[in-house]
Amino acid sequence: MKLKREDLRLYAVTAGEIDADALLSEVAEAIEGGARIVQLREKRLQGAALLELAKRFAALCREKGAISIINDNPQLCLDAGADGVHLGQEDMDPAHARALLGPERIIGVSAHDAAEAVRAEAAGADYLGSGAAFASGTKSDARPIDHAAYRAITSAVTIPVVAIGGVTGENMAELAGRGLAGVAVVSAIFGQGDARAAARRLRAQAEELFD
């Protein structure tokens, strides 16, 4: 699958705090509101229950015309029929993931500085998630990176970069001018009560701020 830069304007990441049916309902709303790529980040489930959720998630994204990404687990990506995987620095090496997934699936990698970004691109990453952009409720140990660090990352690679970590409608404008393709958000969409409306507002902002 060819990943377009504009697909990354608004990247939704699930919060993993509600039951499967409710989560998938919010995923559908997020896509309808403008998220073109959605990552399933699910820390509670394992085994058959996780695989079933991942299959339903991938099928829903396919039906809605969005890109489905599985967090951390390339094998689950394959088994569920998802479009790609996102890897942290402690997960499988991107080159090994590429060998497992083949050339068509998407690989995203977390990068906190320019050196990590360059290594990830060389290993076959299609995009980078970089942060924390701001203090984050989902990763309390994540340290925010500044404007210069983002500029160094986006200037060091040719693949698109999204900011992640504490991004909201109130602070997104601070990320303009850093060479980013868009933003990845968790709680600014999921748990808002109306994921569709939240995504619509964020997508409109992102279209104004990023290119």
Other CB atoms within 10 Å distance of the CB of residue 99 = 12
Q: How many helices (H) and strands (E) does the chain have?
A: 7, 8
Residue from 5, 25, 41, 55 carrying the catalytic annotation: 41
- Alpha-carbon distance of 85 to 209, in angstroms, equals 26
Can 41 be counted among the known catalytic residues? yes
Please indicate whether residue 5 is annotated as part of the active site.
Answer: no
- Catalytic residue (one of 56, 62, 119, 139): 139
The answer to whether residue 110 is catalytic is yes
Catalytic residue among 110, 196, 201, 203: 110
Across 74-95, b (16+ Cβ under 10 Å) vs e yields bebbeebebbbbbbeeebbebe
Output the six-digit token pair for 107: 């690989």
Catalogue the active-site residues: 41, 110, 139
